[in-house]
Amino acid sequence: MDTPYIGRLLERASRDEPSYICLPEHASSFTQTKLVPEIYTKDEINEMFYGICGDQEKNKEDFQMKLDGVYYPLNDSIIWLTNCMEEMRQDIARIQRANDVSRSISIDRH
């Protein structure tokens, strides 16, 4: 196939809408179809719209369940750790008071 022929083929293809470029011997293998815009009724549009919204709502619920599955165990762990720390503070304060009392008694004895 010579270069001018390819040039004419490309030029012709760029003028046609929709344009398909193929070798002439394969042209019969392709059929061009034009999309016809569909006209929808208001009910069909609403059905499509609410179908999409319903899917979004389901995705939101699924995400919330996954988030809850991570958040609540983590929150429970944080609460447990906070309680442990508070108990340790109380234990430390009790030990410090006991040490302070025993020191003051030993100082008074001398």
pLDDT tier for residue 95 given thresholds of 50, 70 and 90? very high
What span, in angstroms and rounded, lies between the C-alpha atoms of 37 and 34? 9
**DSSP conformational letter for 16:** S
Q: Pinpoint the alpha helices (H) of the chain.
A: 3-15, 42-109
| Most distant CA atoms of the chain, gap in Å | 118
* Residue pLDDT, tens place only, 16-70: 555 555 666 666 666 565 555 678 788 888 888 888 888 888 888 888 888 888 8
Statement: the pTM of the whole predicted model exceeds 0.95: no
From CA 67, how far away is CA 70, in angstroms rounded? 5
CB 12 within 8 A of CB 27: no
Confidence of residue 102 (pLDDT cuts 50, 70, 90): confident
Neighbours of 9 (CB within 10 A): 15
Q: What is the DSSP letter of 34?
A: -
| Paired tokens of 21 | 């470029």
- Of the listed ranges 27-31, 41-45, 77-81, 84-88, the one predicted with least confidence: 27-31
pLDDT of residue 56: 84
